C-alpha cells in the first residue's frame, strides 16, 4: 500500500477515472484502493465534478442521446416493417 503526495493525487485520480471509462466515484475508488491508502472519496468526487466529459454526459438525458443517434442513422421510422 502506498501513500500519495498531494501533487500526485490528481494525476492518479485522472488516470483511474479514464481507465474506468469515466467511471463514477465507486469505480474509481475500487481501482485506486488496491494500491493507495490515502486517496479519499471526497477527492474523487471533487475531481469528477470538474470532469468536462462527465458533466456533458450528465447534462443530456439518455433519451435525447438515443433519439439523436437513431434518427441520424435512419433507425427510427414511422411505418411498419
pLDDT in tens, 27-81: 999 999 999 999 999 999 999 999 988 888 777 555 544 444 444 444 444 444 4
Domain ranges of the chain: 6-72
- The whole-model pTM stands at 0.67
Residues making up the chain, counted from first to last: 81
Chain mean position to CA 62? 15
CB atoms within 10 A of CB 43: 20
Amino acid at each position: 500500500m502506498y501513500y500519495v503526495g498531494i501533487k500526485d493525487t490528481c494525476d492518479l485520480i485522472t488516470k483511474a477515472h479514464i481507465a474506468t471509462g469515466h467511471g463514477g466515484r465507486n469505480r474509481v475508488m475500487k481501482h485506486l484502493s488496491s494500491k493507495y491508502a490515502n486517496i479519499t472519496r471526497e477527492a474523487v468526487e471533487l475531481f469528477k465534478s470538474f470532469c468536462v466529459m462527465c458533466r456533458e454526459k450528465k447534462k443530456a438525458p439518455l433519451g435525447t442521446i438515443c433519439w439523436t443517434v437513431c434518427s441520424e442513422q435512419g433507425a427510427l421510422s414511422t411505418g411498419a416493417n
